[in-house]
């Protein structure tokens, strides 16, 4: 299925920041690069627009969605609510095996933290949150969560992190794992809300919305 493939590839291009937020998406160029015609490309762009990753301007083409400060805050709030819900549901349904897998991922993430490897830490962090959402056993929730996090992802990866905040995040993750193991839904929901709130503060403090991806890649490096 060409169309699905195309959506995935363009999404990856956008999430990698290869086309920075606010930049025009050159149809012609992408067609050549992906070796497809404009029809499936345009279909893919409309799907991505529905997902919120692309802005469509009438007769003026499409742009990589540029999120304002407020947009980021809003998305984080939704993300927070979804993760809290996922945590509660997960506590009711999660299996011992799933808890074990999350514990393993947690240990790995802590290892990356000790190594000071921020990129790998973020990867592990994301894996844990996705595992919790997955453990909720609710595909509709998983889908909505994926859509919301996709829009935030770039910002989340590039926020500069102070040692204090990083240490706090790790501590919170320990509490999250603990609540999961105790299957304490209400407690987990509470922790997840606090966790997200702290993450949100990071992002806003970084003033992400004023920058664009070209800066961000530099910041990562």
Partner DNA sequence: TTTTACATTTTTGAATGCAAAATTTGCGAT
Partner DNA sequence: ATCGCAAATTTTGCATTCAAAAATGTAAAA
Residue 28 binds: one of DNA, its own copies, none (C-beta under 5 to 8 A by kind): DNA
- 200 vs 112: CA distance, rounded Å: 22
Q: How far is the CB of 194 from DNA (least distance, A)?
A: 43
* Nearest in space to 103 (alpha carbons), one of 174, 186, 185: 174
Structure tokens at 111: 């290892």
Measured in degrees and rounded to the nearest 5, phi and psi for residue 63 equal: -130, 155
Residue 211 binds: one of DNA, its own copies, none (C-beta under 5 to 8 A by kind): none
Sign of the CA dihedral running 10, 217, 153, 60? negative
- Residue 221 as a binder of its own copies (CB under 8 A): the answer is no
- Residue 143 as a binder of its own copies (CB under 8 A): the answer is yes
In 25-68, which residue ranges form alpha helices assigned H by DSSP?
A: 27-34, 38-51
Whether residue 72 contacts residue 208, with contact meaning beta carbons closer than 8 Å, is answered with yes
Site residues (vs DNA, CB under 7 A)? 1-3, 24, 26-28, 35-40, 42-43, 56-62
- Residue 42 as a binder of its own copies (CB under 8 A): the answer is yes
Q: How far is the CB of 128 from its own copies (least distance, A)?
A: 19
In sequence order, what are the beta bridge partners of 56?
62
Task: For DNA, give the closer residue by CB, 57 or 140.
Answer: 57
Site string for its own copies, 55-94 (x = CB under 8 A): ---x------------x--xx-xx-xxx-xx---x-----
Buried b (16+ CB within 10 A) or exposed e, 56-93: beeeeebbbbebeeebbeebbebbbebbbbbbbbbbee
Task: For its own copies, give the closer residue by CB, 30 or 84.
Answer: 84
Q: How far is the CB of 116 from its own copies (least distance, A)?
A: 33
- 130 vs 133: CA distance, rounded Å: 5
Total residues binding its own copies (CB under 8 A):
31
Residue 87 binds: one of DNA, its own copies, none (C-beta under 5 to 8 A by kind): none
Contact positions vs its own copies (CB under 8 A) = 1, 3, 39, 42-43, 46-47, 49-52, 58, 71, 74-75, 77-78, 80-82, 84-85, 89, 138-141, 143-144, 147-148
């Amino acid at each position: 299925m060409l169309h699905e493939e195309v959506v995935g590839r363009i999404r990856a291009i956008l999430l990698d920041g290869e086309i920075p937020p606010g930049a025009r998406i050159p149809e012609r160029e992408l067609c050549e690069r992906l070796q497809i015609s404009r029809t499936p490309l345009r279909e893919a762009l409309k799907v991505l627009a529905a997902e919120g990753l692309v802005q469509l301007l009438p007769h003026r083409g499409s742009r990589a969605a540029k999120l304002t400060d407020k947009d980021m805050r809003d998305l984080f709030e939704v993300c927070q609510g979804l993760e809290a819900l996922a945590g509660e549901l997960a506590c009711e349904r999660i299996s011992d095996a799933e808890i074990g897998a999350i514990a393993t991922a947690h240990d790995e993430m802590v290892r990356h933290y000790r190594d000071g490897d921020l990129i790998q830490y973020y990867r592990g962090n994301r894996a844990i949150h996705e595992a919790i959402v997955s453990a909720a056993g609710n595909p509709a929730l998983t889908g909505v969560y994926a859509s919301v996090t996709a829009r935030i992802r770039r910002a989340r990866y590039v926020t500069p992190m102070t040692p204090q905040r990083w240490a706090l995040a790790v501590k919170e993750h320990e509490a999250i794992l603990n609540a999961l193991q105790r299957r304490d839904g209400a407690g987990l929901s509470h922790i997840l809300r606090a966790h997200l709130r702290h993450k949100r503060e990071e992002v806003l403090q970084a003033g992400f919305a004023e920058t664009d991806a070209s800066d961000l890649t530099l910041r990562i490096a």
